[in-house]
Chains A and B, each alone.
Chain A
Amino acid sequence: DTQMTQSPSSLSASVGDRVTITCRASQSISSFLNWYQQKPGKAPELLIYAASSLQSGVPSRFSGSASGTDFTLTISSLQPEDFATYYCQHSYTNPWTFGQGTKVEI
């Protein structure tokens, strides 16, 4: 299985901060990497697909990038509604797996 390792597992930030979350794949997954946001008691929502493509309706402060097997989600200016847990997920080979999540807190 391809393991997805996210870091950090949690972080504290303030409104307006630039936030970066990293996800490392244990082997090549090409660009089959997605990012989701999940708020408590809610289903995840797709933010970024294909490593760097912004899902329709998602604010432009969210962006994704890739370098080999390292992937990054960046929030350029953290807003109050962005406090949530973020997951990366690959869909390159079976089984599709998620990272363990990064909780963004105040």
Chain B
Amino acid sequence: QVQLQESGPGLVKPSETLSLTCSVSGGSISRYYWSWIRQPPGKGLEWIGYMHHSGSNNYNPSLKSRVTISLDTSKNQFSLKVTSVTAADTAVYYCARVNSGSNYLAFDIWGQGTMVTVSS
């Protein structure tokens, strides 16, 4: 059974870089697309982007200039970096697997989420 677990600092200073890692167990990262989603406190969900082991990626244009998602197949992990953070980046960050078919792309497995606060 595939499981995902986020890890990283819970507090980041404004203007610095937010870095999170998602560890994948029970399955290989060398399949599927892998994605990050975030949820500000009390608000809805925002898709950040995804990455495939082939190197294919796609980012939300609202964040594209500040976001990088990368995969480490040797560690079966993928990571998120968000540069120049502000208070607006405060959120619960989820990693998720993207399952796909001819007529769908869906987040079928999620990590438990990790809260990141941007504050000095």
> A residues near B, CB below 8 A?
30-32, 34, 36, 42-46, 49-50, 53, 55, 87, 89, 91, 94-101
Contact = CB atoms under 8 A, between A and B. Distances in A.
Interface residues of B, number: 23
Nearest to B113: A43
A36 B107 contact: yes
26 contacts: A30-B103, A31-B103, A31-B104, A32-B105, A34-B104, A34-B107, A43-B113, A44-B110, A45-B110, A49-B104, A49-B106, A49-B108, A50-B101, A50-B103, A55-B106, A87-B45, A89-B47, A91-B98, A91-B105, A91-B106, A94-B61, A95-B60, A95-B61, A96-B60, A96-B105, A98-B45
B112 interface: yes
Nearest to A4: B44
A98 B106 contact: no
Interface in B59-100: 59-62, 94, 98-99
9 smallest A-B Cβ distances: which pairs? A50-B104, A91-B105, A43-B110, A49-B106, A95-B60, A98-B45, A96-B47, A34-B106, A49-B104
